Structure 1
Amino acid sequence: ADLVTLSACQTGLGKLEAGELIGLNRAFVYAGTHALVSALWRVDDLSTSVLMKHFYRNYVTANKARSLRQAQLLVKKDFPHPSYWAGFSLIGDYQ
Structure 2
Amino acid sequence: VERKWRNFKKSNPTMLRFLAKHPELQKMRLHDFRHSFGSNLRDQGVSVEDICELLGHNDAEFTRRTYALPLENTHKKAIDFYEEKLKRKLVNFL
TM-score after normalising by structure 1? 0.26
Of Structure 1 and Structure 2, which has the larger fraction of its residues in strand? 1
- Per the normalisation by structure 2, the TM-score is 0.27
Task: Point out the structure with max Rg over C-alpha.
Answer: 2
